[in-house]
Structure 1
Amino acid sequence: MAKEGPNWEGLLKWSLAHSDGTGSSRKLSEDDRKWFMEAMQSQTVDVVKRMKEITLVMQTPEQVLESHGVTPQDIGDMLDELQEHVESIDMANDLHSIGGLVPLLGYLKNSHANIRQKAAEVLTTIVQNNPRGQQLVMEANGLEQLLSNFTLDPDVVVRTKALGAISSLIRHNKPGISAFRLANGYAALKDALSSEDVRFQRKALNLIPYLLNENRSDCGIVTELGFPHILMHLASSEDADVREAALRGLLELAQDSPGKPDGIPNEEDDKLKQILQKRIKEIGKMSAEDLGAVKEERLLVDSLWYACYNEPSSLRENGLLVLPGEDSSPPDVASKHFEPPLRAWAANWNPNTKPSSEKKESPLLIGPGALSDNAS
């Protein structure tokens, strides 16, 4: 089991005993110096050594671990510790050099959902804002297994964690984005939006605007897949984060083509207008405190209204777009003219088609090695 924390009381007594309050330095005896260094070193951990020990455990067959009394909970705690170590980019990249990345990816196929979930969390930490880590995971076919968990895993938490890892893996990673698109990733995102799990919906919604902004041509793909209809539905969600993310996705689609559409607004266009009008009405009834909490949503509603109907929303007229004391100005949409593909999509839409903090102790590991809650 892990050792207890540092003997702060003993260190404090030692420090006070060797201080006279004048600020002047005193020469320490060799015994005092030795005691202090041993006290401090006993609370430190060789991170690379610990990662090698964890790698050894990950490489050990599951049945062997079970025969030694290692439980899935122990493995989960071990992955929690590994995640702390790989928060350092250097340590994250070193995991591959010591042979730990491949067995970590193997844990994505573990029979226990908790282990699959935690393995995805560790991978998210490894690749987040880390181009080298992204490259290593891509070369080890990590995206393929993450996509499998995202689309096929029976546990929705595992699917959510896999999507989170995918999102971090492909951001600012053009090969990753291309691989995601070729793997029919948009269809998988569509299924995620249709889920009843709010956290799963949020993950998918937050990735869509980024992908559309990276590849404007993908707007046509998501329109054909029926995303606008789903996004309009989610724009009325009771969850504030889901509403905001859905509005952001609709705005990305609305900004796809310049120009003003001609023709009479169709049924779907009217539906979108009704959704926005209802939200504007609800915003108008909010208290000052609640209005501050939906600042981003107010800006999105106004921007989407202008993009679709070429006029400011009533939020501006009623002074609800930018409140007194808010330092950000409303977006400059008056100088832009968009032709929202929402209307073009709605004209061809077939109504009969439905879119489908407390730290844990480190676990008991096989082999030697001092464990510490203060490993860094």
Structure 2
Amino acid sequence: MAKDGGLDWDGLLKWSLANSDGTQQARQLSDEDRRWFMEAMQAQTVDVVRRMKEISLVMSTPDDVLQSQGVTPDDIYNMLDELHEHVESIDMANDLHSVGGLVPLLGYLRSPHANLRAKAADVVSTIVQNNPKSQQLVMEANGLDPLLTNFNSDSSIASRTKALGAISSLIQHNKPGINAFRLANGYASLKDALSSDDVRFQRKALNLIKYLLHENSADCSIVTELGIPRQMVHLASSADSDVREAALGGLLELAKDKKSGTLADEEKLKSVLQSRIDGISEMSEDQLEAAREERQLVDSLWKECYNEPSSLREKGLVVLPGEETFKQPPDVAGKFFEPALRAWSTPKQDGRNVSESAGEKKDTPPPLLLGPGPSDGSSA
């Protein structure tokens, strides 16, 4: 069945087609056929847990030993990429610690190779996203510390961005993680990130700020003291639409906190919002559809700051026609009843149905919707 030591896929396909053409009942397999089929499938079945154990063993091996065996950084990257696929399953993500792979993975956050640091952070982000168990395991393994280090001072912007993404996944819906981030002066790091020229880095920082302010409005005072609102106002006019939306969302969270009291008095904010209103007013239909969230954020922020709706609402640009209209599902069954219903609703002449004037002797009773209509002058 094999060719050059590999699996004969052509033979397997022909065998499958011959035994399941859909025209006959499945025949009983012989012991030989059953054994061959199981061997063929098992040869291609990956035991994920076993493979994760192997990867964990490699990650635990000292770099000098790996180098002596000819293992290159590219090999390690490909291995981490494979691990990334495995841990997309939440069960496999939680199993990584039990097979001894979580701590070695966190060790790669300190790799001398920037692409390995970035890839390790990417894998960590997937492991902890919406996963309280793995969030706790990473926190207990002090995984937040190297992520913060890379976020703050990595020489690679890609590594900094991936570290920030992993931090966001780690601390969301995780109060101990949020507290640790705040104690580590995380807001000052986010302020620094907003000064970057990398829009992806800016966007991730803005989204995390918005989330943190939404979860705890008391942090609005910290953000205000650091001067972050001024940066957010500037980024609200960014050329990148995602950055604009994230900045507007963060400003809206600040505006909802009446104690901050700084946004409504800033002429710069009003100027930026008016500029966005003017830009939105000149958009094409397709552009307006793509800017749906921005339109609503601009209007909500204007109303929150100045206690009046924006001119977008007057122009009908906050909610476009059809955006809030409930669309009925297609009428699948109606076509089966339409002829009988239409005949019943046809106008009568002199108290009779139109069909009676064509020779029928009595009114046709209303049709039964759950069965065939009665025939003229006869019983079922």
| Band the TM-score falls in, shorter-chain normalisation | 0.7 to 0.9
Give 3-state SS (helix, strand or coil) of 1:38's partner: helix
Aligned CA distance change for structure 1 residues 257 and 301 (closer, same or farther; 3 Å): same
State the AA in 1 paired with 2:112: S
Give secondary structure in 2 for the equivalent of 1:23: coil
Amino acid of the residue matched to residue 311 of structure 2?
S
The residue matched to 1:327 in structure 2 has which SS? coil
Residues 193 and 230, structure 1, Cα contact 8 Å, conserved in 2 = yes
Q: Which residue of 1 is the match for residue 63 of structure 2?
A: 62
Task: Show the counterpart of 2:92.
Answer: 91
Q: How does 1:1-376 map to 2 (within 5 A)?
A: 8-19=9-20, 21-257=22-258, 269-327=266-324
User: In 2, Cα distance between the equivalents of 1:273 and 1:37?
Assistant: 70
Q: Residues 86, 5 of structure 1: CA spacing in aligned structure 2 closer, same or farther, 3 A cutoff?
A: farther
Inter-partner Cα distance in structure 2 for 1:52 and 1:214: 38
Give the Å deviation of 1:8.
Answer: 4.7
CA shift in 2, pair 1:148/1:74, >3 Å? same
How far residue 16 of structure 1 moved from its aligned partner, in angstroms, is: 2.2
CA contact (8 A) 1:93 1:126 kept: yes
Alignment RMSD (CA, Å): 2.1
Instruction: Find the residue that maps to 2:298 and give its secondary structure.
Output: helix
Residues 224 and 260 in structure 2, CA contact (< 8 A), matched pair in contact too: no
Closer, same or farther: CA 113–31 of 1 in aligned 2, 3 Å: same
Deviation readout 1:285-311 (Å, 9 max, x if unpaired): 111110000000000000010111111
Count of matched residue positions in the alignment of Structure 1 and Structure 2: 322
User: Would you say the 8 A contact 1:322–1:328 is kept in 2?
Assistant: no
Distance 1:183 1:51 in 2: 33
Q: Which residue identity does 1:24 align to in structure 2?
A: Q
Whole-angstrom CA distance in 2 between matches of 1:216 and 1:48: 43
* CA distance in structure 2 between the partners assigned to 1:4 and 1:241 by the alignment: 52
**Kindly tell me: are residues 6 and 152 of structure 1, through their superposed partners in 2, closer, same or farther at Cα, counting changes over 3 Å?**
farther
AA of the residue aligned to 1:252:
E
- Partners in 1 of 2:277 and 2:239 — Cα distance? 15
Is the partner of 1:45 in helix, strand or coil?
coil
For residue 335 of structure 1, what is the aligned residue in structure 2?
none
CA distance in 2, matches of 1:221, 1:198: 24
Whether the 8 Å contact between 1:149 and 1:159 is mirrored in structure 2 is yes
- Larger relative contact order (CA 8 Å, sep ≥ 6): 1
Give a deviation string over 1:293-345, Cα, whole Å, max 9, x none: 0000000000010111111000000111110110289xxxxxxxxxxxxxxxx
User: Are the structure 2 counterparts of residues 21 and 144 from structure 1 closer, same or farther at C-alpha, using a change threshold of 3 Å?
Assistant: closer
> Is the contact between residue 19 and residue 26 of structure 2 (CA under 8 Å) also seen in structure 1?
no
Contact 2:190 2:205 survives alignment (8 Å): yes
- Separation in 1 of the partners of 2:234 and 2:216? 24
TM-score norm. by structure 1 comes to 0.82
Task: Letter of the 1:247 partner, please give it.
Answer: L
Describe the shift of the 1:328–1:211 C-alpha distance in structure 2 as closer, same or farther (beyond 3 A).
farther
- Give the direction of change, closer, same or farther, for the CA distance of 1:260–1:84 in structure 2 (3 Å limit): closer
Q: Supply the distance in 1 between the matched residues of 2:226 and 2:144 (Cα, whole angstroms).
A: 23
Rounded to whole Å, the distance in 2 between the matches of 1:135 and 1:238 is 38
Residue 258 of structure 1: CA displacement? 7.1
Shift in Å, 1:4:
12
Deviation of 1:260 (Å):
8.8
Structure 1 runs (4+) greater than 3 angstroms displaced: 3-9, 258-261
Q: Distance in 2 between matches of 1:251 and 1:97?
A: 43
Q: Which has the larger radius of gyration?
A: 2
Compared with structure 1, are the counterparts of its residues 253 and 101 closer, same or farther at alpha carbon in structure 2 (3 Å cutoff)? Answer: same
Give CA-to-partner distance per residue, 1:330-365, whole Å, 9 cap, x none.
xxxxxxxxxxxxxxxxxxxxxxxxxxxxxxxxxxxx
Question: Which amino acid is the alignment partner of residue 177 of structure 1?
Answer: I
Cα distance, 1:22 vs structure 2 = 2.8
Residues 105 and 133 (structure 1), Cα distance of their counterparts in 2 relative to 1, 3 Å cut: same
Contact 2:151 2:161 in 1 (8 A): yes
Amino acid at match of 1:275: V
* Matches of 1:226 and 1:305, distance apart in 2: 21
User: For structure 2, which runs of at least 5 residues remain unmatched after alignment?
Assistant: 327-380
1:10: Cα distance to partner? 2.7
Decide whether aligned partners of structure 1 residues 96 and 293 sit closer, same or farther in structure 2, where only a CA change above 3 A counts.
same
Per the normalisation by structure 2, the TM-score is 0.81
